[in-house]
Structure 1
Amino acid sequence: MDFYRLCGTTACAALMAFSLTARTQETYLPGDKFSHDLIDGGNGPEMVVLREGKFVFGGGRVGEDPEDLVIEISRPFAISTTEITVGLYRQFLKASQSGDLKTFDVANDSLPISGISWDRAEAFISWLNYQTGYHYSLPSSTQWEYAARAGSQKTYSWGNEVGKGNANCMECGVAFEGMTAPVASFKANAWGIYDMEGNVWEWTKDCLDANSKPPLNGMPQLFGNCDTRELRGGSAQSDAWSIRINSRASAPRQSRNSDAGIRVVMQLPR
């Protein structure tokens, strides 16, 4: 049973609207970490609060080149410190009575969920919103890059060379040999976010439109070919070039690529 149908009632929508309205007065400070309780028990993903700011899309220093595409993140948001795990996704499958549970045989709950489509990612987020009473979403491509850069203009969050042991990829000098690693197996970036490079590709909210620039305000690009969605970050199966912060890929929204997963964001009040 799909969660959209499981929670498609007026009562469910009203409950979420009440919860979201009641919590708009909460205070969040940059660097704060939090997680929300789930109705069914346990916790949602750990989130870290990021302040608003500017950065050059694709790399560079703001003000250095007038031709640069400067993105302004105009309001703070929180992003999950890790990719969504197998353990949390398993809770979603059980709650939604999904047929996928019959073939879901990943035993290690600390691995990132992978092999899910963009549409299934959206269903998971609908469940997470209901379970917590807060509004999560996939990140926009620009939100993703802002979080991955963590104030840096370099090729990777740790420097301009891939080096050894900094992330999980085929040329990263690690022993996983194309297999995913448990989340947070490598050092976090300067803002406390793990695995933005490598491990699994991460779905974003953005539609594919090769002929236009992304919105300059940090919002997702929701025009163009929305049957195809953008992914960021590279995976354990990627080479060093593909895990650069500015690397971008795309795939049909219903595809279940074996190395595609997700992390989530939560928009915060100003």
Structure 2
Amino acid sequence: GGGTPVVVSKRISTGMDDVEENKNGGIYTNSSDIELVYDGSTVGNQTVGLRFTGLNIPQGSSITKAYVQFTCDEQKTGTTSVTIKGEATDNSAAFTTAAYNVSSRTKTTASVTWSIPAWNTVGAATTNERTPEIKNIIRSGFSTSSALTLIITGTGTRTAESYEGSSSKAALLYIEYTTPLKNASIANNLLDNESISEEGPNDGSYYLFPNPVNDLLHLVFPSAGNYDVVITNVQGMVVKRNKVVSLEMVSIPVADLASGIYTVTVSGENTGIIRSFIKQ
């Protein structure tokens, strides 16, 4: 993407969007606070689910910054470490009270570890109550109407405001993003097992960037048209397949790929082009 980042800031907007799952799978939807994550011997280490709606981020956007801001509800200083993952879907379904409805969801491979500082002041919403950078666990295949869910596990206790406790102090998701160039889009459907044409002549008009890449790989095509994009690892295994409808450029999220060297094969418009990139 390019241009000045767009800022989105959304709080949890309903009590069903900040939920706690106890060690036995029970779902608590109307607590006056959110325990991150230990809540006594009966409840144990909880799995916390946070679902954010109304983000209105265009598909294929590049997330340049993201974090969650909590507000302290109780003074807690003991050692606390949590892991934050996303739900691995482009539109997260609403939580239900079905057993294990949070922990059973498919999670992103990427994760963020947060060793939470002491929360000393009730009502505080400072950097101590703010997660580290989480942009790498946010997918960019969603549409403007998509909902995004974060799933938090770990040990220790920090007590944050919930929607029921104070709707104006519920967890807030902050995102900065840049929109994709040329309105490029990805149709995230698997391709048929069809042959990929051999490498064609390189006229210099096809390229990818950045290389090496961390989270979003941009592909610029030789001409307007429909393209099939296949990414393989060094073992030759296909790790991503995308059917692209684009004027000139498309952006593909690769944050979930392990570090290493990958090959991109693009076929379409009677040409086949192969390029390599390094995932950091």
TM-score by length of 1: 0.24
Q: Which has the higher strand share?
A: 2
The structure having more radius of gyration, on CA atoms, is 2
Q: Which has the higher helix share?
A: 1
TM-score (norm 2): 0.23
